[in-house]
Amino acid sequence: MTSVPPPFDPELAAALELIGEMVSPGFTLDDIPAVRQNEGIQLLADIDLTLDGAFEVADRAVPGPAGAPEISLLICRPTAPAGPTPLPVIYHVHGGGLVIGNNRVGVDLPLAWARELGAVVVSVEYRLAPEHPHPAPVEDVYAGLLWTAEHATEFGGDAERIVIAGASAGGGLTAALALLLRDRQGPSVIGQMLMCPMLDDRNDTPSSHQMKGLGVWDRTANETGWTALLGEARGGPDVSPYAAPARATDLTNLPPAFLDVGSAETFRDETVAYASRIWQSGGIAELHVWPGGFHGFDGFAPQAALSQSARTAHLDWLRRLLAH
């Protein structure tokens, strides 16, 4: 097996050089407090959530899992909906390697979709590892979805048209949420969008080895994130699929999935494998592997041509999903 990495897209490689001072590919458990204060993380969360007045924004504290604290939901609904019909809901799960971030990180992308499609965005804040290991994060995400489905009419949403979506760690938690909803017979969702998802705690794919020390999230950082969530169980035989969805032995009866990933990133192979296993289980999945894309490239370099192609693909899939 070659360890030579695939090349970055030239335009993205130039962007990666510019952001290299703010975001490094690897960090350890001891680095987590400093990473949480990183300027780049703060910038990702510092956006105009109203999109120049297009959305009315509210923070709502809702019940968490049984015996756990309340969780915070960020609810963004259009200020001028097209009509009285309830709107589809995009339920967003933020990224951050399971150890950093909040419900404002990465929400610019679902807000952009919602502006185009006429939808409500609900972004959930979950407890972070290592202070709160598995199952705290995914149980918070599940509890937020339950509240969203039960109370959709309160914010103009349609409980019959909920799409769950997340990137990176949020993509992994979104996949885990789909599994939990199926297995607990929870509210139905019409689709799951898994963008560069963090799925496999074993951290031993060819792409994880190829991209060591490169990009914005490498094998060292990946080990840190999974160890924070799972402790000594990471990589062992007893990891729950609700923690690491790649461990699931049954991928039947899941909502249609959109998966995308860069060819030059750690999560490439686990994402491709997950899509393949959905197909092998008789399910519906659309997979995009963006040539030369590093982890989260469309968020770090949204004006790049490849990023524009990826964002168009996201929107096209959602539009087709909602049309059906």
Question: Where is pLDDT greater, at 300 or 42?
Answer: 300
In angstroms, the CA 172 to CA 56 distance is: 28
The per-residue pLDDT for 288 is 98
Please tell me the pTM assigned to this model.
0.97
In angstroms, the CA 93 to CA 74 distance is: 11
The per-residue pLDDT for 41 is 61
* pLDDT more than 70, % of the chain: 97
Span 181-230, pLDDT tens digits: 999 999 999 999 999 999 999 999 999 999 999 999 999 999 999 999 99
Q: Would you put residue 57 in left (φ > 0), alpha (ψ -120 to 50) or beta?
A: beta
- Which H/E stretch holds residue 280? helix 268-280
Sheet holding 120-124, edge to edge: 55-62, 71-78, 120-124, 87-93, 157-167, 191-195, 257-262, 285-290
Over residues 149-164, the mean pLDDT reads 97
pLDDT tier for residue 82 given thresholds of 50, 70 and 90: confident
In the predicted structure, residue 23 carries a pLDDT above the cut 80: no
Q: Which of 117, 41, 130 is nearest to 81 (CA)?
A: 117
Span 222-257, pLDDT tens digits: 999 999 999 999 999 999 999 999 999 999 999 999
Span 94-116, pLDDT tens digits: 999 999 999 999 999 999 999 99
In angstroms, the CA 229 to CA 290 distance is: 28
Tokens found for residue 261: 């990933």
Over residues 74-86, the mean pLDDT reads 90
**What are the phi and psi torsion angles at 183 (to 5°)?**
-75, -30
Pairing, β 191-195 against β 120-124: unpaired
Residue 14 to residues 9, 20, 207, 290: CA-CA distances in angstroms?
A: 9, 10, 21, 17
